[in-house]
Structure 1
Amino acid sequence: MGNWISTWPGGPEDTALPALLCLPPAGAGCQQFRAWQPALAGIAQVYGVQLPGRENRWREPMPDTFAEAVEAIADAVARTVGPGRRLVVFGHSFGGLLGYELARRVTPRALVVSACRAPWYWDGAGRGIVDDDGELDKLFDTAGLDPAFLDEDTRALMVEMLRKDAQLSLSYVHEPGARFDVPVHAWGADGDETVTSGELDDWATVTTAGFHRHRTAGGHHAVLRRPEPVLAHLAGLLRGDDALLSRTS
């Protein structure tokens, strides 16, 4: 299997810096986080998680199960990020679910989830995407993409990636276990029609280390389209600003 972790230029790679690990939403690769490295230059080394079946891993097969994917990511993090570094995990939508299960294994400084339901809402959540083209069109609309204006090859590629991730999500079963000792910061957008406020608030029940709720304007992908607020927040966590752990917005 290829490399699950990507890095980008934006200053020399410095393993003494804290690490920010970014997990993209379903149907997407991690190159969208490339611009975050220069934005956080001198503050953190940005790492992107790259699942198979997209971008530079297009020809590689997906893991058979969600759990296998998480274990592969955890192994790659151990090798690439290394022990003893301050680590913050950020995941958007489906990436937030991956980030949560990863955080249960690697214990980061903080878990930041964006536009992501609490874990138990994900059981069987990808079934409509796998079976129903109408559900796929809704996802394109959520992303601000009109399928009518996508060329056939581009739409087919995006559909294939979405279906791969949806199929992977169908193997996910939430196993509650003990609450973990990692602060959770949940970002939601006021105009998100995919994830409700209550589904975000329920992240409070997974942690004993504090839950912090943050809001922004826009739709489901607002945080990725206008990342400045979340980048400022992540920078504080990466610097070790403990005041952030008692602040909500």
Structure 2
Amino acid sequence: MGNWISTWPSGPGDAALPALLCLPPAGAGCQQFRAWAPALAGIGQVYGVQLPGRENRWREPMPRTFDEAVEAIAGELRPVVAAGRRLVVFGHSFGGLLGYEIARRVRPAALVVSACRAPGHWDGAGRGIVEDDEELDKLFDTAGLDPAFLDEDTRALMVAMLRKDAVLSLSYTHSPGAPLAVPVHAWRAGGDDTVTAEDLAGWAAVTTAAFRVHRVEGGHHAVLRRPETLLEHLAGLLRDDAAVPAGTA
């Protein structure tokens, strides 16, 4: 689709379907969302946001600021919205923060975030990753990766990507402005020590529409490791079901 957004066709007529924009966590690329396309075939077309410095963009320099990245992504997304297609934005962890700022610019039908602090709770987030190797090791542990079992080159590449995204997050300043007028769904997993109940509850303040909390178990990346329940929920939003499935609180 463009430099910032990739898509994976799943069948004829995709271009007329609702669109699901997926934003990965810090240090990750968007290819992980390719596996979601078959599950949503005939329901919605999956788009993945690819920041520079990873996968097919690993040679490209990072944007100078958070806002620069958001504007570039929103610019590629506007033709989808202009075509009248229903749009749902999903972001995990750092991707949820990007998704929120994109939603402020293109107004999707719904915003879904997982394992993500509310925007007003992001000040200084990422500083430990930039400055402290122990914080990096904790993050690897959160992702289910033991640094001792990563070869030196792989770990160096992952560290570089994580630190680039952490630096980008430090350029973010929340300017509340007008709240969103779209529903916000926030997912939190039991065992996630990086996002508190208070961090999640803060999302209620960013919208004048419905706000719902969804809970699963399994730690920070639970919804990405076992996405079946989340995908059912996203499919309902793409179809604009009156009753959206998945364990809501």
Q: Same fold (TM over 0.5)?
A: yes
Describe the superposition over 1:211-232 as per-residue Cα deviations: whole angstroms up to 9, x where unpaired.
Answer: 0110001100000000000000
Q: CA deviation at 1:79?
A: 3.9
Secondary structure of the equivalent of 2:15? coil
Match of 2:37 in 1: 37
Describe the superposition over 1:147-168 as per-residue Cα deviations: whole angstroms up to 9, x where unpaired.
Answer: 0000000000000000000000
Deviates more, 1:127-136 or 1:153-162: 127-136
Describe the superposition over 1:56-102 as per-residue Cα deviations: whole angstroms up to 9, x where unpaired.
Answer: 00000010000000000000112456531100000000000000000
Cα root mean square deviation, aligned: 1.4
Q: CA deviation at 1:9?
A: 3.6
The question of 1:104 aligning with 2:110 is answered no
1:138-217 equivalent positions in 2, closer than 5 A: 138-217=138-217
Equivalent-residue separation in structure 1 for 2:139 and 2:132 (angstroms): 11
Equivalent-residue separation in structure 2 for 1:187 and 1:101 (angstroms): 18
Q: CA deviation at 1:201?
A: 1.2
TM score, norm. by length of structure 2: 0.96
The question of 1:27 aligning with 2:2 is answered no
Equivalent-residue separation in structure 2 for 1:73 and 1:13 (angstroms): 24
1:21-100 equivalent positions in 2, closer than 5 A: 21-79=21-79, 82-100=82-100
Equivalent-residue separation in structure 2 for 1:218 and 1:105 (angstroms): 33
Q: CA deviation at 1:194?
A: 0.9
Q: Given the superposition, is the C-alpha separation of residues 47 and 163 from structure 1 closer, same or farther in structure 2, using an over 3 Å criterion?
A: same
Equivalent-residue separation in structure 2 for 1:238 and 1:80 (angstroms): 14
What amino acid is the match of 1:101? E
Equivalent-residue separation in structure 1 for 2:25 and 2:16 (angstroms): 28
- Unaligned runs of 5+ residues in structure 1 are none
The question of 1:118 aligning with 2:118 is answered yes
Secondary structure of the equivalent of 1:243? coil
What amino acid is the match of 2:46? V
Q: CA deviation at 1:242?
A: 2.7
Equivalent-residue separation in structure 2 for 1:44 and 1:208 (angstroms): 26
Equivalent-residue separation in structure 2 for 1:13 and 1:224 (angstroms): 27
Secondary structure of the equivalent of 2:209? coil
Q: CA deviation at 1:14?
A: 1.6
Equivalent-residue separation in structure 1 for 2:153 and 2:114 (angstroms): 29
Q: Is the 8 A contact 1:25 1:94 kept in 2?
A: yes
TM score, norm. by length of structure 1: 0.96
Secondary structure of the equivalent of 1:51? coil
Equivalent-residue separation in structure 1 for 2:82 and 2:231 (angstroms): 23
Describe the superposition over 1:110-165 as per-residue Cα deviations: whole angstroms up to 9, x where unpaired.
Answer: 00000000001111111111111111111000000000000000000000000000
Equivalent-residue separation in structure 2 for 1:189 and 1:248 (angstroms): 12
Identity score, percent? 79
